[in-house]
Amino acid sequence: NCILRKGEKGKAESILYRALDSVAEKSKEDPLRVFRKAVENAAPLLEVRSRRVGGATYQVPVEVKENRRQALSIRWMIQNAKARSGRSMAEKLTGEILDAFGNSGGAVKKKEEVHRMAEANKAFAHYRW
């Protein structure tokens, strides 16, 4: 559903299936296992949320729930696949999945960036709600 553009679900599904077929071809492993591991590698454990306290806004680190972790991970992988240059969307998505599987690529960088923000604002963790 995250790949969906202009309500063309059939096209979105075919892009995903072509990407998974390509993942199977390139990695010589079960594509669903590779995809699950890629989602797991790109999923953030912490994120920062804004919280107003006495006129000041603090970036408060909070733990991310499991379903949001997966949603963020998949969203980041698709965003980074779209940002890649050239080729078809299926090929770009394949590259992003394989990169995330190997703990590199844009989605994993985004996760590390979010973790760095949470670490930097760890002092405000007591403002959690």
Output the average pLDDT for the chain.
87
Residue 105: how many other CB atoms lie within 10 Å: 23
The tens digit of pLDDT for each residue in 78-124 reads 899 888 887 888 899 999 999 999 988 889 999 999 999 988 888 88
Residue 77: how many other CB atoms lie within 10 Å: 26
Predicted confidence at residue 69, as pLDDT, reads 92
Predicted confidence at residue 115, as pLDDT, reads 93
One-letter-per-residue 3-state SS of the chain: CCCCCCCCHHHHHHHHHHHHHHHHHHHCCCHHHHHHHHHHHHCCCEEEEEEEECCEEEEEEEECCHHHHHHHHHHHHHHHHHHCCCCCHHHHHHHHHHHHHCCCCHHHHHHHHHHHHHHHCHHHHHHCC
For 19-43, what is the mean pLDDT?
A: 90
Integer Cα distance of 92 and 100 in angstroms:
12
User: What letter represents residue 100's amino acid?
Assistant: A
Rg (CA), the chain: 17
> Model-level pTM?
0.86
Percent of the chain with pLDDT over 90: 33
Question: Is the pLDDT at 19 greater than 70, yes or no?
Answer: yes
Predicted confidence at residue 1, as pLDDT, reads 65
Predicted confidence at residue 45, as pLDDT, reads 92
Predicted confidence at residue 21, as pLDDT, reads 92
Q: What domains sit in the chain, N to C, each tagged with a CATH number?
A: 9-127 (1.10.455.10)
Question: Is the pLDDT at 6 greater than 90, yes or no?
Answer: no
Predicted confidence at residue 129, as pLDDT, reads 62
